[in-house]
Amino acid sequence: MKIKVLKKEETELKIEIEGSSHGICNLIQKRLLEDERVDFAGYDVPHPLASSPIIYLRMKDKTKPEDALINAVEKVREANDAFGRELDRVLKI
Protein backbone atom coordinates (compact mmCIF):
# COMPACT_ATOMS: atom_id res chain seq x y z
CA MET A 1 0.00 0.00 0.00
CA LYS A 2 1.36 3.40 -0.98
CA ILE A 3 -0.09 6.79 0.01
CA LYS A 4 0.32 9.83 -2.20
CA VAL A 5 -0.69 13.36 -1.14
CA LEU A 6 -2.58 15.00 -4.00
CA LYS A 7 -3.62 18.20 -2.24
CA LYS A 8 -2.64 19.63 1.12
CA GLU A 9 -3.95 23.01 2.23
CA GLU A 10 -4.74 24.63 5.57
CA THR A 11 -8.20 23.07 5.85
CA GLU A 12 -8.21 20.47 3.06
CA LEU A 13 -6.45 17.22 2.33
CA LYS A 14 -6.71 14.85 -0.62
CA ILE A 15 -4.76 11.59 -0.68
CA GLU A 16 -4.56 8.61 -2.98
CA ILE A 17 -4.14 5.14 -1.50
CA GLU A 18 -2.66 2.76 -4.06
CA GLY A 19 -3.58 -0.87 -3.60
CA SER A 20 -6.47 -0.19 -1.23
CA SER A 21 -10.16 -1.01 -1.37
CA HIS A 22 -13.58 0.35 -0.46
CA GLY A 23 -13.36 -1.41 2.90
CA ILE A 24 -10.54 0.61 4.44
CA CYS A 25 -11.71 3.87 2.86
CA ASN A 26 -15.25 3.37 4.11
CA LEU A 27 -13.98 2.77 7.66
CA ILE A 28 -11.78 5.87 7.56
CA GLN A 29 -14.59 8.00 6.12
CA LYS A 30 -16.99 6.85 8.82
CA ARG A 31 -14.53 7.75 11.61
CA LEU A 32 -13.75 11.11 9.98
CA LEU A 33 -17.45 11.98 9.87
CA GLU A 34 -17.73 11.27 13.60
CA ASP A 35 -15.29 14.15 14.22
CA GLU A 36 -17.24 17.39 14.78
CA ARG A 37 -14.36 19.44 13.36
CA VAL A 38 -14.72 17.75 9.97
CA ASP A 39 -16.86 19.64 7.45
CA PHE A 40 -16.67 17.04 4.69
CA ALA A 41 -15.11 13.62 4.26
CA GLY A 42 -15.51 11.20 1.42
CA TYR A 43 -13.71 8.93 -0.96
CA ASP A 44 -13.90 7.97 -4.60
CA VAL A 45 -12.58 5.12 -6.70
CA PRO A 46 -12.04 6.89 -10.04
CA HIS A 47 -11.81 3.68 -12.05
CA PRO A 48 -13.04 0.21 -11.07
CA LEU A 49 -9.98 -1.51 -12.56
CA ALA A 50 -7.50 0.75 -10.76
CA SER A 51 -7.26 0.04 -7.05
CA SER A 52 -6.32 3.58 -6.03
CA PRO A 53 -9.13 5.28 -4.10
CA ILE A 54 -8.89 8.96 -3.25
CA ILE A 55 -9.91 10.27 0.19
CA TYR A 56 -11.08 13.89 0.47
CA LEU A 57 -11.23 15.79 3.74
CA ARG A 58 -12.20 19.39 4.60
CA MET A 59 -12.18 20.89 8.10
CA LYS A 60 -14.60 23.41 9.63
CA ASP A 61 -11.96 25.16 11.68
CA LYS A 62 -8.20 25.64 11.69
CA THR A 63 -7.53 22.05 12.80
CA LYS A 64 -5.02 20.45 10.47
CA PRO A 65 -6.79 17.90 8.27
CA GLU A 66 -3.85 15.51 8.64
CA ASP A 67 -4.42 15.50 12.42
CA ALA A 68 -8.07 14.52 11.91
CA LEU A 69 -7.01 11.80 9.46
CA ILE A 70 -4.45 10.36 11.87
CA ASN A 71 -7.05 10.42 14.66
CA ALA A 72 -9.56 8.59 12.44
CA VAL A 73 -7.01 5.94 11.49
CA GLU A 74 -6.17 5.41 15.18
CA LYS A 75 -9.89 4.85 15.91
CA VAL A 76 -10.06 2.31 13.07
CA ARG A 77 -7.01 0.57 14.50
CA GLU A 78 -8.56 0.45 17.99
CA ALA A 79 -11.81 -0.99 16.60
CA ASN A 80 -9.83 -3.61 14.71
CA ASP A 81 -7.94 -4.60 17.86
CA ALA A 82 -11.19 -4.81 19.86
CA PHE A 83 -12.76 -6.99 17.15
CA GLY A 84 -9.73 -9.28 17.18
CA ARG A 85 -9.87 -9.68 20.96
CA GLU A 86 -13.60 -10.43 20.89
CA LEU A 87 -13.15 -12.92 18.06
CA ASP A 88 -10.39 -14.68 20.00
CA ARG A 89 -12.66 -14.80 23.04
CA VAL A 90 -15.66 -16.28 21.28
CA LEU A 91 -13.55 -18.75 19.32
CA LYS A 92 -11.44 -19.48 22.41
CA ILE A 93 -8.16 -19.16 20.58
Domains of the chain: 2-91 (3.30.1360.10)
Q: Is the pLDDT of residue 9 over 90?
A: yes
What pLDDT digit, counting tens, does each position of 20-64 carry? 878 889 999 999 999 999 999 999 988 777 778 999 999 999 899
pLDDT at 93: 65
* Rounded CA separation 72/78 (Å): 10
* Rounded CA separation 5/79 (Å): 25
pLDDT at 92: 87
Q: Is the pLDDT of residue 85 over 70?
A: yes
Measuring CA to CA, how many Å separate 60 from each of 10, 32, 49, 68, 72? 11, 12, 34, 11, 16
Helices (H), 1-93: 22-33, 65-91
Q: What is the mean pLDDT of residues 68-93?
A: 92
